[in-house]
Structure 1
Amino acid sequence: MLMAHPAVLKNLIEQYDTLRILHAEDGSPEVQQRMDDVAYTLCVATGTRDVDAALIAARHQLPGARPEDDSLLTTT
């Protein structure tokens, strides 16, 4: 499987987190579509099928992530 560059993953995580903090799911259709697009791209980049798994997988692929670090599994 191809691996996304850590900089790309970091950017996608930041975009998704920002959209979630701003409650994009309740925003305009364009904003909702952007959130869906970022979630889809995260899933494709990590080889997962849902955004929660994609976020965990992406964070594990970032430099400095440790497999035993369970803080990556918490929902914020």
Structure 2
Amino acid sequence: MLMPSPIVVRSLLARYASLADQDSAAARQELEQVSYTLCVTTATTTIEDALAAAAIMAERELPTSREEMRPAA
């Protein structure tokens, strides 16, 4: 499975948190879209599972060299 960039995951989590505090039709619609994207990104089927998985993924470090990006043999 491809792992999403921690930067992307952090951005989705921040957007979700921002939208969850808003109470407008537009915010609810966008929250639904962000929730779907989180589920797809984390390969989960519920927003609760997606948020838990995303929190773990967001803590990952980005590779700092090409050597670190190479798959283990």
What TM-score range do you get, normalising by the shorter chain?
0.7 to 0.9
Residue 38 of structure 1: aligned partner? 34
One-letter amino acid of the counterpart of residue 45, structure 2: R
Residue 24 of structure 2: aligned partner? 28
Of all paired residues, the percent bearing the same amino acid is 37
TM-score, with structure 2 as normaliser: 0.73
Q: Deviation above 6 Å: which 4+ runs of structure 1?
A: none
Residue 57 of structure 2: aligned partner? 61
Mapped to 2, the partners of 1:39 and 1:4 lie a distance apart of: 15
Mapped to 2, the partners of 1:14 and 1:61 lie a distance apart of: 14
Structure number with larger C-alpha Rg: 2
Q: How many residues align?
A: 61
Q: What value does the CA root-mean-square deviation take over the aligned residues? A: 1.7
Runs (5+) with no aligned partner, structure 1: 65-76
